[in-house]
Structure 1
Amino acid sequence: MTVGRRLRRMLAALVLVPLLALTGLTACGDVAPGDANASGTTSGRPGGVRQGGGAPKPGRTADTIRTVPASSLPPEARRTLKLIDAGGPFPYRKDGSVFANREHRLPSEPNGYYREYTVPTPGAGDRGARRIIGGRSGERYYTQDHYRSFARVTGG
């Protein structure tokens, strides 16, 4: 990597991080234990939403996950949501591939239930860390930190 390219990436990070903090997009991360989520309930630890399939496995998922309106997501995420709704075309080869939920941060579902889609990161030389995960039942989750935390997306 050239010095100029490295410098551009560092400058982009110096601009992007404060911008995200100012716009509140960093709130799409984990909810700390005891913090109220958007519905006013508390979460024991970051995890998934319980969905009809019984109780979550102990130590794997919590009862709730934070919810954010689609309008609060970065514009690139909103564009990705529109592409998902339209069925593509997707700009990345891995878009639409199975998300295995190995981190167990989303509700436990059969393999193949979740699909992942890239949310482009301006200035990144690769796919970046941001993704939309879509469930077979139409639910959508946003991660800005490569699956470490998720927020359930509401609205279109």
Structure 2
Amino acid sequence: MAICLGLLVMVLALALLTNCNGSSKEITADTPRTYATTSTADSNTTSSGTSSTRAPTSTKADGLRTVALTDLPRQAQATVALIDKGGPYPYPRNDDKTFGNFEGLLPKKQRGYYKEYTVATPGSSSRGARRIVAGEDGTMYYTSDHYKSFRRIVR
């Protein structure tokens, strides 16, 4: 009996330890993929012999996961291009406006430091939930769930 109980405890402990880096967040079709934690992008060769670039999942002191610009949905990439160009934006009443960071998920900065931009959502009759938030220093963040989570965009 004691041996069975000991084995059960070990199995549960192992299950908990292997799930420490897991996530309870919902993953959707437009959730960008991220890869191994590194401080710079890695270039790897897959088993099929093709090369792939992997974006780091967390690098800076902000602790946010990252996503490569090329791994973002096509519409998010187009929004980044519009931001770089200075517009015009599809939602002029909402885009290029101050993002308050009320959720506190981005690094703390003075009011007005962040601006938000709509990422078009195909099939949506509204602005949808996807946004790019840009800091004054050029750092950009992507959210697919209307500010519940962010990923820093790596170019």
TM-score when scaled to structure 1? 0.64
| 1:20 has 2:39 as partner | no
Aligned Cα root-mean-square deviation (Å): 2.5
Tell me the secondary structure at the aligned position of residue 76 of structure 2.
helix
Match of 1:136 in 2: 136
SS of the residue corresponding to residue 121 of structure 1 reads coil
SS at match of 1:134: strand
Q: 2:65 is matched with which residue?
A: 66
- Residue 146 of structure 2 corresponds to 146
Q: How many angstroms apart in 1 are the aligned matches of 2:101 and 2:28?
A: 30
> For 1:78-122, what per-residue CA distance to the aligned partner results, in whole angstroms no more than 9, with x for missing partners?
000000000000010210000000000000000000000000100
Give SS of 1:120's match: coil
Match of 1:82 in 2: 81
> Matches of 1:27 and 1:105 in 2, distance apart?
19
Query: What letter corresponds to residue 74 of structure 1 in structure 2?
Result: P
**Alpha-carbon distance in structure 1 between the residues aligned to 2:134 and 2:32:** 21
Provide the identity percentage. 46
Partners of 2:133 and 2:36 in 1: how far apart? 20
The residue that corresponds to 2:37 in the other structure is 38
Q: Is the 8 A contact 2:32 2:71 kept in 1?
A: no
User: Which residue pairs with 2:7 in the alignment?
Assistant: none
Matched residues, number: 110
* Alignment match, 1:126: 126
1:26 offset after TM fit, Å? 4.8
The Cα of 1:19 is off from its aligned counterpart by: 7.9
By how many angstroms is 1:39 displaced?
2.6
* TM-score for both structures, normalised by structure 2: 0.64
Partner residue, 1:3: none
Q: Structure 1: 5+ residue runs without aligned partners? A: 1-17, 29-35, 41-48, 51-62
Change (3 A) 1:87 1:118: same
Between the aligned partners of 1:114 and 1:69, the Cα distance in structure 2 is 20
- Rg larger for: 2
Provide Cα deviations, 1:104-143, integer angstroms capped at 9, x if missing partner. Answer: 0000000000000000100111000000000000000000
Between structures 1 and 2, the one with greater helix share: 1
Q: Is the 8 A contact 1:37 1:66 kept in 2?
A: no
